[in-house]
Amino acid sequence: MLRPVHALVLSCLALTPLAGAALGAQASSEKSDDAAKKAADDAAKKAALAEAISVCDRGASVPLDHEAKAPPVQYGALFPQDFDLTKLKTLADKCQAAMLGAPQEKRLTLEWLRVQVALNQPGLAFLLPQIKLIAEGGSPEANYLLYEVYSVHRRDGADAGPLPVSRGMALEALQKAGAAGHLMALETLLRQYIDGPLLCRDAHKVVETAQRVIDAPAQGQSPGEWDSQFRAAMPLLIARTTLENDGFAAEEQHKAFQAVAADTKAGTGGPEASMLAYIKALRLGRGIQQDAAKARQLLEARVANDQYAIPMLADMLAKGEGGPADGKRAIAMLRAASKKVAGAGPMLAGLLLDGKFVGRQPREAIRLLNAPWDLDASIRLAKLLPDYDGFQIDNPDQLVERLSDAAEAGEPGAALALARLQLSDDQRFKNEDVARAMLKPLADAGDRDALWLYASTQYANLDSTSYRPSRRDDGLTDDQLKALIDEGEARKEQQAYLLQAKLLRKGVVYPQDDQKATAMLINGANLGSVEAMVLLGDAYDDGLGIDKNPRERLHAWREAARLGSLKARTKLANGFTFDSFD
């Protein structure tokens, strides 16, 4: 008889086959469930990837990409119209998922990169090697992105540190993209050739670039409304540019005038810009017989309903073109329009500085010229500020940056204006070493004003009353300074007499001689040097190298003040509190 334990063991042994079968069935069921789950997961991932690819293609398809699967999205169109950057971030996430999930689809990498550049988030500099590699492969979009990285990063880049793309690299890349027919690159080039400051303004380059827009290849499948509108605007841009700027042949002007006349129904109506180009052509005789009276008549008819006609009419009124002069009316019109019409403020500033119709008002002129979008205004502002030390302007750093850009681009007048500003006593701008570095190539190229500024800073502290002048290591030797001064005096250049006076007063280069220094100031003042007039007034006031003479002192200061010297006005105001000065 079996013991109970033996019976238990036997019963268990008998049940083992049945249990194994059940376990096998369970494992098979679980394996089947895992396979189904994996299949479902794979299908979901595949669907998510397909959706990410679709979203990325539709939201960031690259212009001029022969592998593109959707209509091109120009770089500017990446930004949501409501400026909600969370939408752009979502697009970036989708593009990243698409790129990582389908590495064989090479187009997705550039789509993701352009969205990342638009977001301008920290870490952008680490993406540059990829962008540069694609650009080197000939991608117009990648070249354009190099310019965008420079353009954005130089002002408000998320990454600190030196610029990851140099100015030279950025502009070279922009030109490459434009040469390939990239429309956003061509639009950027147009803006730079029209307004600067990264490229020298050039009306002929505007015409050339506009023609390249017309001839540019299709940007992709179904390029869109912006593409067609941009191209369609170019013929009239070419015509207006030809009529509004110097340097075009008579045949080109005639053809341009025909285009503008057709667009304006011979000046009877039409688009604002074309009408003003038509009137300017009449005023100046470009492409048609000059008729300033008719031009002024057309402006008078438009000015009530077209505020952009105000600057041209005001200019004609001030100059007496096409009718009698009326400067006061011109000033009143420009004052009313100065906050609404871009060109009104700088033009008003010119009239206020001229002082022909109202007393000179340089302080208001400075305020009006403080317009960062207008390069001409910036150059004129930089010329004024040295005489108005401490006058507060908006964003002085932005003024220096804009002028520096323009100077590097070769914009006429920009380098000299910035150098004058950096040689002034205004601590917001003072930077003599940078100024001299800009002046030397100008002086070497034959710019006499730059040469005299360069020579006048050969000795540091030459104008100081506290420190003895010290010679800079670089630049002109003393013998070269003497030769330049002799040449300048032979040519009756006021700067020569002024510089010699300062050197004589301090006893550097020449033996110290107050009497001869003051004589040189008289010569410089007689040739129109405002600074010489101020210093001559000081000499008469102090009896320095000449007998004290209050009458001659006042005469020198008043003449300098009449020509716009704030220092002279301050000296007069301090001496005679009953006088009032601007």
Residues 158-177: pLDDT tens digits?
A: 555 667 899 999 999 999 99
What is the pLDDT, as a whole number, of residue 115? 96
Does residue 6 have a pLDDT over 80?
no
Burial of 47 (0-12, 13-18, 19+ CB in 10 A): exposed
What is the pLDDT, as a whole number, of residue 8? 36
> Of 380 and 154, which is predicted with more confidence?
380
Q: Which of 72-81, 287-296, 380-389, 519-528 has the lowest mean pLDDT?
A: 380-389
What is the pLDDT, as a whole number, of residue 155? 67
Does residue 154 have a pLDDT over 80?
no
How far is it, in rounded angstroms, from Cα 210 to Cα 186?
8
Let me know how long the chain is: 582
CB-based contacts of 29, cutoff 8 Å, min separation 6:
none
What is the pLDDT, as a whole number, of residue 372? 65
What is the pLDDT, as a whole number, of residue 14? 47
Instruction: Using the CB atoms, write b or e for 429-451: b if 16+ within 10 Å.
Output: bebeebbbebbbebbeeebebbb
Does residue 42 have a pLDDT over 90?
no
What is the pLDDT, as a whole number, of residue 576? 65
> Of 395 and 187, which is predicted with more confidence?
187
Do 409 and 199 touch, CB atoms closer than 8 A?
Answer: yes
Structure tokens at 18: 């049945």
**pLDDT category of residue 26 using cuts at 50, 70 and 90:** low
How many CA atoms are closer than 13 Å to the CA of 442, on its beta-carbon side?
26
Does residue 9 have a pLDDT over 50?
no
CB atoms within 10 A of CB 456: 19
**pLDDT category of residue 223 using cuts at 50, 70 and 90:** confident
Percent of the chain surpassing pLDDT 90: 73
Instruction: Summarize pLDDT for 303-330 with one digit per residue, the tens.
Output: 999 999 999 999 999 999 999 999 999 9
Does residue 185 have a pLDDT over 60?
yes
> Of 145 and 270, which is predicted with more confidence?
145
Does residue 490 have a pLDDT over 90?
yes
How far is it, in rounded angstroms, from Cα 281 to Cα 321?
14
Do 560 and 570 touch, CB atoms closer than 8 A?
Answer: no
Angle between helices 225-232 and 203-215 (to 10 degrees): 130
Q: What is the mean pLDDT of residues 354-380?
A: 88
How high does pLDDT run on average in the chain?
90
> Of 370 and 61, which is predicted with more confidence?
61
Q: Which of 2-11, 168-177, 199-208 has the lowest mean pLDDT?
A: 2-11
Query: Cα–Cα distances in Å, from 236 out to 189, 542, 575?
Result: 17, 64, 59
Q: Is the dihedral of CA 525, 529, 533, 538 positive or negative?
A: negative
What is the pLDDT, as a whole number, of residue 269? 75
Instruction: Summarize pLDDT for 246-280 with one digit per residue, the tens.
Output: 999 999 999 999 999 999 987 777 788 999 999 99
Structure tokens at 31: 């394996």
Strand partners for 459: 471
Does residue 18 have a pLDDT over 80?
no
Q: What is the mean pLDDT of residues 550-555?
A: 93
Percent of the chain surpassing pLDDT 70: 91
Using DSSP's 3-state secondary structure scheme, residue 262 falls into: helix
What is the pLDDT, as a whole number, of residue 158? 54
Q: What is the mean pLDDT of residues 435-453?
A: 95
What is the pLDDT, as a whole number, of residue 425? 84
Find the distance separating the first CA and the last CA of the chain, reported in whole Å.
133
Beta strands per DSSP E along 300-361: none
Instruction: Summarize pLDDT for 491-503 with one digit per residue, the tens.
Output: 999 999 999 999 9
**pLDDT category of residue 581 using cuts at 50, 70 and 90:** very low
CB-based contacts of 137, cutoff 8 Å, min separation 6:
none
